Amino acid sequence: MLPIVPSNKLSSVLKLPPEVAKAAHVTKSESRSVMREVISYGIPSMGGFMVASFNEMVDLFWLAKIGTEPVAAVTVFGTIYWMIMTYNIIAGVGSSAVIARRFGEGAMAECETAIRAVFNMKLVGGTLIGLATWFCLHWILPLMAVEPAVEEQCFIYGVWMLAGAGVVACTYSVYSAFRSIGMPRMAWWMQVLCAGTNIILDPILIFGMGPIPAMGIQGAAVATLFSFVLVFIVGVIGLSSSISPVRVRWFSAGWPKWKDYAQIWNVGWPVGINMLSFSFAMTIGVRLVAEYGTDVVAIFGAAHKVLHFGVMSMVGFTLGTSSLVAQFLGAKELVKSWVAGVHSIRISGYVMLGYAAFVFFFADWIIHAFFDVADVGDIGPTLLRIMAISIPFAGIHIGAETVFEGAGHNRPMMLLSIAHSWLLMVPFMYIFGVYLQMGPAGMITGATVAHCLGGLIAVWLFYKGSWLRVSF
């Protein structure tokens, strides 16, 4: 278990500020006070991401009713989409750190400028990247080596999501902006609105109802895109209203300067490389798994969505903590920043351990909720159980990583992500799956070992404490 504070020896070696060196005297009541703040920020954020992750599983649940090809198509397109959405990650993480730190400093004008800057960056940049990918999709999809039917469905789904990429990116900044200015519950309600709209529209548009024709996978794309557009509109109005502690004047204030965009980019670009590296590695992983056929790709995708539900719940929780850490750093309360980070990692690890146990013991029921038993045999539950082993390690990895993001010190985690993806995950998947001829189970075992090692290294980097000394 991580100690609440760094040791005196470690503080001396790292030459940490005096406030942190004195943290060894933090009382239990002070620690509990910070933990309550962590929970007050983390629970609404976690709830929002749980709803969003459940929303993703609902997509696959309904699509699985019309065959494995649509599920495989969404899985394949998802790896491509998150790779091209790296720009969204860069702007989002960079802006969250800047907005929360300025809010903690009490610099409300600079906070408003950062919010406007990130919306400009995402709407323009995301739209251009989405349209460029749309144009290239006919050349990209054949590289995934999937069956023609899957490729066709992937294109049908993808053109809608790529056309609205800029708005989708801005929707995530609606959530992060509210969290960063001390309104995590409002961020949660925005995510509920997005997921609830999609959950209602999914079966209507996929299967048809009344005068609405059955649209299949295209219906799933339209429902998803409409829900993002709705939240974008409501969020922009909310941030400019009296309910927001930082009222954003979208059109009446002067345009953000280049230095405002540059600051967001400089803080966020390492996370973009982090996500790009991992997304590309996952694309290679899907490509390796595709050698075993469409059914295995579909199972792989469904299993990842189940795990993604737990992982993204913890991402949500720790993103709330990330905003809190940034606010503490902006207010120069370094001790509270450290204590908040430790509590975040602890909670993430324990919660994900419980989720892993649930997934492991109910793997058969979970997989068969998506597919008929005859379609997947025993391989589905087996893959899910192997993946479940890595879930607690993914939790502590996420907890440590988001502390670095809140501090705006993202290069160490970028280097870890590159090593995790290309020195551990992809090689281990190949070694266990192909070289040792263990098949799909071997590939998932390799990925699981890599995720476990990545989590341990992430906590070690957190404990070094370098993130406490970053300022911008």
- Which two tokens mark 289? 């798994």
Residue 244 belongs to a domain: yes
Given this model, what pLDDT does residue 71 score? 82
C-beta separation of 54 from 309 below 8 A: yes
The C-alpha atoms of residue 442 and residue 446 are separated, in whole angstroms, by: 6
Site of tokens 């703040």:
37
Q: Count other Cβ atoms within 10 Å, centred on residue 115.
A: 26
What single string gives the DSSP state of each residue in 294-317? HHHHHHHHHHHHHHHHHHHHHHHH
Given this model, what pLDDT does residue 132 score? 92
Given this model, what pLDDT does residue 252 score? 77
The CA angle 349-353-356, to the nearest 5 degrees, is 135
From the number of C-beta atoms within 10 Å of its C-beta (0-12, 13-18, 19+), residue 184 rates as buried
- Which two tokens mark 309? 């539900």
What single string gives the DSSP state of each residue in 106-148? T-HHHHHHHHHHHHHHHHHHHHHHHHHHHHHHHHHGGGG---H
The C-alpha atoms of residue 432 and residue 288 are separated, in whole angstroms, by: 12
What single string gives the DSSP state of each residue in 44-65? HHHHHHHHHHHHHHHHHHHHHT
Per-residue pLDDT of the chain (472 residues; tens, 9 = 90+): 555 555 554 455 445 555 555 555 567 777 888 888 888 888 887 777 777 777 777 777 888 888 778 888 887 888 788 777 888 888 988 999 999 999 999 889 999 999 999 999 999 999 999 999 988 888 888 877 677 888 888 888 988 999 999 999 999 999 999 999 989 889 989 989 998 999 899 899 999 887 888 888 899 899 999 999 999 999 999 999 999 999 999 887 778 999 999 999 999 999 888 877 877 787 787 777 777 777 677 777 767 767 777 777 777 787 778 888 999 998 888 888 888 888 889 888 998 999 999 989 988 887 777 665 455 557 778 888 888 898 899 889 989 998 999 999 999 999 998 998 899 988 998 899 888 888 888 888 998 999 999 999 999 999 888 888 888 7
The C-alpha atoms of residue 75 and residue 117 are separated, in whole angstroms, by: 32
Residue 392 belongs to a domain: yes
Residue 45 belongs to a domain: yes
Three-state DSSP state, 5: coil
Whole-model pTM? 0.78
Site of tokens 């609404």:
44
C-beta separation of 433 from 442 below 8 A: yes
C-beta separation of 118 from 92 below 8 A: yes
- Separation of first and last alpha carbons in the chain: 31
Residue 4 belongs to a domain: no
- Which two tokens mark 91? 């702007």
Residue 87 belongs to a domain: yes
Three-state DSSP state, 249: coil
C-beta separation of 329 from 298 below 8 A: no
Given this model, what pLDDT does residue 46 score? 79
Q: How far is CA 324 from the centre of its chain?
A: 18
Determine the length of the chain.
472
The CA angle 91-93-98, to the nearest 5 degrees, is 90
Q: Count other Cβ atoms within 10 Å, centred on residue 149.
A: 15
Residue 444 belongs to a domain: yes
From the number of C-beta atoms within 10 Å of its C-beta (0-12, 13-18, 19+), residue 344 rates as buried
The C-alpha atoms of residue 122 and residue 71 are separated, in whole angstroms, by: 28
Given this model, what pLDDT does residue 259 score? 93
- Which two tokens mark 87? 């720009």
3-state SS of 130-193 is HHHHHHHHHHHHHHHCCCHHHHHHHHHHHHHHHHCHHHHHHHHHHHHHHHHCCCHHHHHHHHHH
Domain that holds residue 340: 34-469
What single string gives the DSSP state of each residue in 251-291? TTSPPPPHHHHHHHHHHHHHHHHHHHHHHHHHHHHHHHHGG
The C-alpha atoms of residue 413 and residue 396 are separated, in whole angstroms, by: 13
User: What is the phi/psi pair of residue 209, to 5°?
Assistant: -160, 125
Residue 410 belongs to a domain: yes
Q: How far is CA 42 from the centre of its chain?
A: 14
Residues 6+ apart with CB under 8 A from 367: 299, 302, 303, 376, 380, 381, 384
The CA angle 361-362-365, to the nearest 5 degrees, is 150
The C-alpha atoms of residue 219 and residue 217 are separated, in whole angstroms, by: 5
Residue 443 belongs to a domain: yes
Domain count, the chain: 1
User: What is the phi/psi pair of residue 466, to 5°?
Assistant: -65, -25
Amino acid at 127: T
Q: What does the longest C-alpha to C-alpha distance in the chain come to?
A: 72
Q: Count other Cβ atoms within 10 Å, centred on residue 371.
A: 18
